[in-house]
Structure 1
């Protein structure tokens, strides 16, 4: 079964230590375009996360939002080197006294001094913590992938409805084709009958010109090719995985044959069917852009 590139998945985890939430939203794109938002302590995990996303979702515009909240107020997201802070503060205070400056900003300066405050990702990760986060992310990706598969099944049935409508119109064009030829013959006969009675002409040459004219207006080959393209489109629909680009190419070929039938037929009855076929094809093309 085909798979859509539109998807959504969310996963949550909570225990006595922290709350974790991962949300994944996807849209169509020619390539994998990942936008990852995560806490600073997991910023070095982007490559690892990108690998999971690529393996699970393959391509598309992916927005992954990871939220992590520690429950315990005693746990800070940073490490503070208090001894180093005191050293900086005392040094700045001594310097201020030498020049007669006030020490209003000394606390702030000491707190912002190098290596006084270190974020957790610089200090080192908690392996158990990351394993839990990893499981939450992967669960959200699985749910998003399942959403894509469900959406793909819906699109599959829409494609089949569009194809069926085009097939029905093609069948009606095939029924109209003999009538169209007869109408053309009658029109030529009526227009030239009087002229042929009053003027001499080469019958063989005239017959050759008529054959050439009918060959230019003949749509038999286009009808056959259109039917073949429709069958090939359906075959690739049923093959399932990663058919989006191929379905787009096939729909272009279908469009060529429909346009040629319309221009060569030059017939109002057939043109009505062509217009409906074009409308159905536009729906197919729009939907095909969203197929993985």
Structure 2
């Protein structure tokens, strides 16, 4: 199943079929443009000409059935060929106009004669308006398909970027794993040294505490400190989150919200890694992880 971005553009034009009874309108058509950007929910906006405003519920149904998330704007405009704007007057219309003109000039001798332009305008207004509802719906369906294809192409690009970031995070996790035991051991040794120094200072001039008791207490405190700075659990959870993100990207479908949650968890683990780090090397790895996670967050926000 494909992964869709919420960013894309699609357009389509549909022309009305030729009408033998009204050949002047055979060039009429409709152009539909769809623009989409990211949004938490499905947000539809319509820009329609006055004569097609009544079509908005049907257009909303067509677009809403195709998409689940994104801020989508639909623009619809009518089109006419150069010759289609002029009507083809019927003989009955011209005869009626001639009779009306003669009647008016009988009563108003100074009234000017009708011009060709005035005759054509009258015929145009008297002609029945052509309904373009079906044409508009057909153009909308075609534009929806074009927008789907555009969002799918953008989705493929985002998946490649996310996979690259996943690979980078895995590399950083692998770099951190061998550092953890050495860091813990080094910190334990430092803790024991400082603990012994503190005990020697505290026992100066007083009854000395047994050596075994000092050592047991020091080892217990060092073990507790090692647990606090051990980041192996965070690295394991981070790897598990990366596995789940990769699985979802390969499965496809509507996964934007689920990935957004997993990105938050990735950021939490990277942040904890930095806060618990007791070595400069792990701190640097944590910073690089946060940068990669933030780059993933920016891309995930565009996925449907």
Query: Which ranges of structure 2 fall in alignment gaps of 5 or more residues?
Result: 17-25, 89-95, 101-124
CA deviation profile, 1:112-162 (whole Å, cap 9, x unmatched): xxxxxx999xx8863xx3222221111111001100001000000100001
Residue in structure 1 matched with residue 219 of structure 2 by the alignment: 207
Whether the 8 Å CA contact 2:183–2:278 is kept in 1: the answer is no
Pairing 1:1-292 to 2, within 5 Å after superposition: 1-14=2-15, 16-71=26-81, 72-74=84-86, 126=131, 129-195=132-198, 199=203, 200-201=208-209, 202-203=213-214, 204-292=216-304
Whether the 8 Å CA contact 2:188–2:223 is kept in 1: the answer is no
Distance (whole Å) between structure 2 residues aligned to residue 142 and residue 246 of structure 1: 25
Q: In the TM superposition, what is the alpha-carbon distance from 1:70 to its structure 2 partner? A: 3.6
Cα RMSD, aligned residues only: 2.8
Distance (whole Å) between structure 1 residues aligned to residue 236 and residue 46 of structure 2: 49
Q: In the TM superposition, what is the alpha-carbon distance from 1:14 to its structure 2 partner? A: 4.5
Query: Which ranges of structure 1 fall in alignment gaps of 5 or more residues?
Result: 77-81, 87-117
Q: In the TM superposition, what is the alpha-carbon distance from 1:190 to its structure 2 partner? A: 3.5
* SS across alignment from 1:25: strand
Whether the 8 Å CA contact 2:13–2:139 is kept in 1: the answer is yes
Distance (whole Å) between structure 1 residues aligned to residue 171 and residue 80 of structure 2: 62
CA deviation profile, 1:171-190 (whole Å, cap 9, x unmatched): 11101112212321332244
Whether the 8 Å CA contact 2:248–2:255 is kept in 1: the answer is yes
Whether the 8 Å CA contact 1:35–1:64 is kept in 2: the answer is yes
Distance (whole Å) between structure 1 residues aligned to residue 134 and residue 9 of structure 2: 22
* SS across alignment from 1:33: strand
CA deviation profile, 1:20-43 (whole Å, cap 9, x unmatched): 211110001112211111222211
Distance (whole Å) between structure 1 residues aligned to residue 217 and residue 184 of structure 2: 21
Q: In the TM superposition, what is the alpha-carbon distance from 1:206 to its structure 2 partner? A: 2.6
* 195-204 or 141-150: bigger deviation: 195-204
